[in-house]
Homo-oligomer: A and B are copies of this chain.
Amino acid sequence: MPDSAALAARYRDVRARTEALAEPLAPEDCVVQTMPDISPTKWHLAHVTWFFETFLLRPHLAGYEPLDPRYAFLFNSYYVQAGPRHARDQRGYLSRPTVSEVYAYRAWVDSHMQRLLESDVSPELLAPLLTIGLNHEQQHQELLVTDIKHVFSVNPLRPAYHELPPSPDEAVPAIAWIEIGEGLYEIGHEGDQFCFDNELPRHRHFLERYALADRLVTNAEFQAFMGDGGYEKPELWLSMGWATREQHGWTSPFYWEHRDGKWMTYTLGGMREVDPAEPVCHVSYFEADAYARWSGSRLPTEEEWEVAARSEPIQGTFADAARYHPAPYRRAAGAGFQQIWGDVWEWTRSQYSPYPGYAAAPGALGEYNGKFMANQFVLRGGSCATPQDHIRASYRNFFPPEACWQFTGIRLARDT
C-alpha cells in the first residue's frame, strides 16, 4: 500500500501529463465534437476532474464545497447512479465553461485533493479510489489524443497537432508463426497490483493448439488486400460488416485518402504518405476480420493473445514516445512476438463478456465495465496513445466492431 506522499506524487504526475497533452491546442480546438463517439478536449479535462470530485472529495473530504454544483450535471459521463447528466452527443454545444474556467476547476479539485491526501483519512481507504481515478484519467489521455485527431481530420485545413518525424525505410520480413500448445490455461489478472474488475476472476480456460503471427499486419499487406478487391467482395465480410461498409462507403482504412495516385493518411503530424512498413491502423473489427479471412487466417481469441503476450516484456511504441502514431516495423532484440505491446490495439475475435464468476463492484463504480458487455469486441496490448504504465497482459479494452477512430490494428492467428 503506497503512502500518502507517494499517492500525491503519482496524482500530480498523471494530472500534469493530461495538461501537457492539451498544451498544443487553441481554446477553439478544445470545444469541438465532430461525432457522438468523441468528446471535446475541454470535456475530457473536466470529466476526469469530476471523477475525483465525485468519488473522493464529496464522500471523503469533510466540508468540501464544489466550485460550481452544476458541473456535476455537465461532466458526468454515464454513471447513472451518480445522478443525471448532459446528453453525450451534445458535448460540443457547450462553449461555457471556457477552457480557462475548466483549468480553474482542475486547480480547485487538485488543491482539495492535496488537502484530502494530507488529511487523516486513511490511505487504505483512499488508495483504491485514487488508483482507479488515475487509471481512469489515463484512459481519457488516450481518448483525448484519438478524439482531437478526429477533430482535426474533418477540417479541410488538416491542421497538425505536433511535429511527426519522418520514418526510415525499413524492410519487413515475412510473418513467422509461433505455435503454442493446447492446455488448460489460467486467464485473467493475477497478483495484488491494480486491475479493472473485468480482468477478474482469474479462471481456467482450455485452448486448442494454435499459432500466432510474430508481428502485426503492415500497410503494405493491407494494400495487397485492397488491390485484390478486398473491399468489393462481400464473401470476405461478416454480414453486418458488409452492411456497415456499404453504409459508409469504406474503401480503405479510416483516415486514408487517395490523392494524385497515392494513398495518404491523416496523422497527428498532418497528411503523410502511407508508410508500407507501419502496422495498418484505424481498421474496424469488420475490416480486420475480412483481412484475416482473405489471408487464410483468423483473428486470435483474447485468451490466445493473453497467453502469448504475458511472457513478453512490456516495451514498444506507447504515448510516452510522444509519437502518437504507430512506428514502422523494426525487430526488437530478445523478443519473440514483435509489436505485441503498443503501436496499435489488436482486435480479437472475442466478444466482450464477463469471465466466469465475474461480479461488478457495488455502486456507481460498478458501472465502469460490466454494463458494456454486449456488441463489443475485446482489444489487447495498448497503442501509441496508451501510457506505458497503464497496460498489462490481462488488460481488456473493448469497442463496437464498427469503431475505427481508435489506434486499432491486426495480428493474425491460425489453427494448426
A-to-B contact residues, CB < 8 Å: 26-32, 34, 42, 70, 73-74, 78, 80-81, 86, 90, 92-99, 151-152, 154-157, 159, 184, 203-208, 234-235, 237-242, 285-286, 301, 349-354, 356-357, 367, 371-375, 377, 401, 415
Complex: A99 Cα to B98 Cα, angstroms: 14
A102 to chain B: closest residue by CB: B28
Given A31-B31, A95-B32, CB of A367 within 8 Å of CB of B238: no
Q: Is the CB of B98 within 8 A of A28?
A: yes
A95 touches B204 (CB 8 A): no
Bound-state CA distance A415–B80 (Å) is: 27
* A371-B238 contact, Cβ under 8 Å, with A157-B70, A357-B208: yes
28 intermolecular pairs with C-beta atoms under 8 Å apart: A26-B27, A26-B95, A26-B96, A28-B96, A34-B93, A70-B157, A74-B157, A80-B242, A81-B235, A93-B151, A93-B155, A94-B155, A95-B151, A96-B152, A97-B157, A203-B208, A204-B206, A207-B356, A238-B371, A238-B372, A238-B373, A240-B372, A240-B375, A286-B374, A349-B353, A351-B352, A357-B415, A375-B401
- CB pair B26–A234 under 8 Å, yes or no, is no
A156:B73 contact, CB within 8 angstroms: yes
What B residues does A28 contact at CB under 8 A?
27-28, 30-31, 42, 95-96, 98-99
Residues in B with CB closer than 8 Å to A401 are 374-375
Residues in B neighbouring A99, C-beta threshold 8 A? 28
Most buried by B among A34, A184, A205, A235: A235
Asked whether A374 and B240 contact (CB < 8 A) given A90-B154, A156-B86, A353-B351, the answer is yes
B residues in contact with A374, CB < 8 Å: 238, 240-241, 285-286, 351, 375, 377, 401
Residue of B156, B184, B207, B285 near A70 (CB, 8 A) is B156
Residues on B with C-beta less than 8 A from A151 are 93, 95
- C-alpha gap A19/B156 in the complex (Å): 26
| CB–CB A95/B155 < 8 A | yes
The residue in chain B whose Cβ has the minimal distance to the Cβ of A373 is: B238
With a CB–CB cut-off of 8 A, which chain B residues contact A86?
A: 156
Contacts of A240 in B (CB 8 A): 372, 374-375
